[in-house]
Homo-oligomer: A and B are copies of this chain.
Amino acid sequence: MRYEQLADLPCSITRPLVVLGDRWTLLILKEAFAGVRRFNAFQSGLGIPRSRLQDRLGRLVDHGILVRQQAADGDHAEYRLSRKGHDLYPILMAIRDWGDAHMAPDGPPVHYRHRDCAGEARVTLACDCCGERMTAHDVVPEAGPGLLAHVDAVYGAGVDGPES
């Protein structure tokens, strides 16, 4: 039970990872972005055990990342990305960038091209104010409102901190 408690920490990296950080979840989402929607297609595409897939799809639906519905034409089930799930795409592209750079000795297996353009999709880290490109060295962490709310919730609002 210790691991799940990490989701309560006031950290926007930790909280998603409690949901996404396991063997299969991000691979399932990768398939979803590739257009896969059906249970059996996920299963055969990844080789994931059926019971595991069932569990992971359920969790993603519970978190509002996938939406389960009946297909319009037939009557089989469909798992589609919600808006929230769709927003995960930059994460997968960031992983791909790293994979292309460090785990693809023969060059990228797949180009992710811009529709009707010679270019390719790339993830960049930049300042949303001045637009300058950034690396980890340029980043300074600073407490935000979510942290203060967390402190209030844990130690009670109206006090300065855990001194009592």
Contacts and interface: CB of A to CB of B under 8 A. Distances in A.
A13 B114 contact: no
Contacts of A140: 112-115
A119 B114 contact: no
Interface string A7-38: 00011111111001111111100100110000
A103 to B, nearest CB: 4
Interface residues of A, number: 86
A114 B87 contact: no
A41 interface: no
Copies of chain A in the complex: 2
Contact of A98 (B11, B16, B122): B16
Interface of A: 2-3, 6, 10-17, 20-27, 30, 33-34, 46-47, 84, 86-115, 117-130, 132, 134-136, 138-150
A159 B105 CA distance: 22
A25 B86 CA distance: 24
Contacts of A97: 90
19 contacts: A15-B103, A16-B103, A86-B135, A88-B98, A91-B94, A106-B146, A109-B146, A109-B147, A110-B146, A110-B147, A111-B142, A113-B141, A114-B127, A114-B130, A114-B138, A115-B138, A115-B139, A115-B140, A117-B127
Contact of A124 (B2, B13, B109, B124): B124
Contacts of A143: 109-111
